[in-house]
Amino acid sequence: MASKNRPDRLQVGKNHSFWQSWLHAWNGLKTVVVEERNMRTHLVLGVLALLLGWWVNLTVNQWLWLCLVIFMVMLCEINNTIAENICDLVTGPHYHPLAKKVKDIAAGAVVFAAAFAVLVGLILFVPKLWPLLMAWL
């Protein structure tokens, strides 16, 4: 029988409600933020990018691009964390070259997404900030 989210019993069955599923998902998000330093870094940089976007008055389309790359980087980081945890679960304390390969590929996806986010950020913000910088100098 399922635990109905009681902390004193482990759940082994299916979720019984939408809200139970929602609670598990929320706990997963909290876990990745608490346990993964890189996710916290992505969150802070994402919030800073959103604040900068508000300050420079991005258009609707620019907001869509900005939000897309922020969420893409965070999704890649979540998937990277999943890959690392599954590899650690399977290999335990032992080294396995295939586990390293999986972890490296997942980390590479985060770097790839972050590089795209930087490129989009440059395209969005340089034209808006360059005149301000020139006026200030």
Domains defined for the chain, CATH in brackets: 34-135 (1.10.287.3610)
Q: Is 42 exposed, middle or buried (0-12, 13-18, 19+ CB in 10 A)?
A: buried
16, two tokens? 């019984």
pTM of the model: 0.85
Given the residues 53, 73, 77, 106, select the one marked as catalytic: 77
- 92's CB contacts (< 8 A; 6+ apart) are none
SS (H, E, C) 7-24: CCCCCCCCCCCHHHHHHH
**35 belongs to the catalytic site:** no
pLDDT tens digits, 14-47: 888 888 889 989 999 999 999 999 999 999 999 9
**Annotated binding-site positions:** 36, 77, 84, 103-104
Classify the C-alpha dihedral 96-101-104-109 as positive or negative.
negative
